Structure formats: structure tokens, C-alpha cells
């Protein structure tokens, strides 16, 4: 018997997960599964695997079009996701979700070549997400207890866009989800 929140999350993906992931070639569900599987094969904790699976859940919680970011609209999905998850999940599953957009801005500032390697949609959204971090923002970001998890999640996020990959079913992540609940 699944926890009601786990069931609610499975239903959200079932009902809304087939929308496309921004301007990329995968659906929201495929993107989430690829990201979570990358976390799992890198031996991430259950909380970080859960964060990877649910990092874009904010996109499933609003009614803006899939390509909102192409039109210069910031849907603030990381904050919507945080608000939803924080009621039910431990901090280790919530903070990397909240920070995954900031982690992109951080990597653009601290890792040579990172910005150039971003996909076109990701470069566009960067601009209205605040652009590259300045030094003060970098230092503040590194003070967050979960910033390294957020950076790891971000790297998996960037890779989780392969239209030819077959991922494990979402049910294979229910144990990780349930052990991350408060
Ligand atoms: Fe993502």
C-alpha cells in the first residue's frame, strides 16, 4: 500500500507527464526518469534520487504552456516544486529541487565551458532566471548545506534529455520516494 502522497505523485506524472520538457525532445516523465536513474547509478541517497525524480514537478503543477520559457515566461517551477514537496519530504529531497535552477547559474559562473555546453532552450531560460551568478551570489550559494547535491542534480538534469533512452518505470522509484517522506 503506497503512501497517499506517493500515489498523488504517480498520478501527477500519469496525467500530466506526457507534456514535452520545454523545447527538448523528451516528455516530462522521461526527463524525470532519466534524471532519477542517473542519480541512482551514481549511488545517490534516496533523498537525492527523489529530488532528481521530482525536480521539475513544479512544471506539472501549473497550467502554463510547455514552451513558456521559449516565450520569455519564467514559470518559477523550482519554487512551486519546493512549496509542494516541503510539506511532505525531508530537506535532503527538497533543497536540491529548490536550488537546481540556481545551480545552473552557479555552474555557469564557476565551470569553464559549462555555459557553452548548455542546450539552446536552457541558454534562453538562463537569461530570465537571473543569468550567470556574480561572486557574491556564488559565495552565498556555497553556504547552503545542500549546494553540492543541487549541483550534482543539475548535471544529471542536463543529461536527462536523450530521446532514445529507455528508462525504468516510475514504480521502481517508489521505495526511494517513501523513504524520503518526513
Ligand atoms: Fe529538469
31-42: buried (b, 16+ CB within 10 Å) or exposed (e) per residue? Answer: bbbbbbbbbbee
Which whole number is the average pLDDT over 20-29?
A: 84
65's grid cell = 504552456
Distance 4 CA to ligand 1 centre (A): 24
Phi–psi pair at 181, nearest 5 degrees: -70, 150
Distance 105 CA to ligand 1 centre (A): 14
The fold adopted by the segment(s) 20-179 is Hypothetical protein af1432 (1.10.3210)
Distance 44 CA to ligand 1 centre (A): 17
Rounded to two decimals, the pTM is: 0.92
Which whole number is the average pLDDT over 135-140?
A: 98
Where are the chain's structural domains? Answer: 20-179
Residue 177 near residue 53, CB atoms below 8 Å: yes
pLDDT at 22: 73
Residue 49 near residue 176, CB atoms below 8 Å: yes
Instruction: State the residue for C-alpha cell 510547455.
Output: 66
Amino acid at each position: 500500500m503506497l503512501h497517499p502522497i506517493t500515489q498523488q505523485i504517480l498520478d501527477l506524472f500519469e496525467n500530466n507527464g506526457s507534456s514535452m520538457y520545454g523545447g527538448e525532445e523528451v516528455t516530462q516523465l522521461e526527463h524525470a526518469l532519466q534524471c532519477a536513474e542517473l542519480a541512482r547509478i551514481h549511488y545517490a541517497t534516496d533523498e537525492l534520487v527523489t529530488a532528481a525524480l521530482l525536480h521539475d514537478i513544479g512544471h506539472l503543477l501549473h497550467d502554463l504552456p510547455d514552451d513558456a520559457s521559449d516565450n520569455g515566461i519564467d514559470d518559477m517551477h523550482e519554487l512551486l516544486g519546493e512549496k509542494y514537496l516541503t510539506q511532505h519530504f525531508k530537506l535532503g529531497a527538497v533543497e536540491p529541487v529548490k536550488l537546481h535552477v540556481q545551480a545552473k547559474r552557479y555552474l555557469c559562473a564557476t565551470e569553464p565551458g559549462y555555459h557553452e555546453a548548455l542546450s539552446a532552450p536552457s541558454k534562453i531560460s538562463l537569461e530570465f532566471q537571473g543569468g550567470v551568478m556574480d561572486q557574491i551570489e556564488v559565495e552565498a550559494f556555497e553556504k547552503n548545506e545542500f549546494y553540492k547535491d543541487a549541483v550534482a542534480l543539475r548535471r544529471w538534469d542536463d543529461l536527462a534529455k536523450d530521446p532514445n533512452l529507455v528508462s525504468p518505470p516510475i514504480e521502481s522509484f517508489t521505495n526511494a520516494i517513501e523513504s524520503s517522506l518526513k
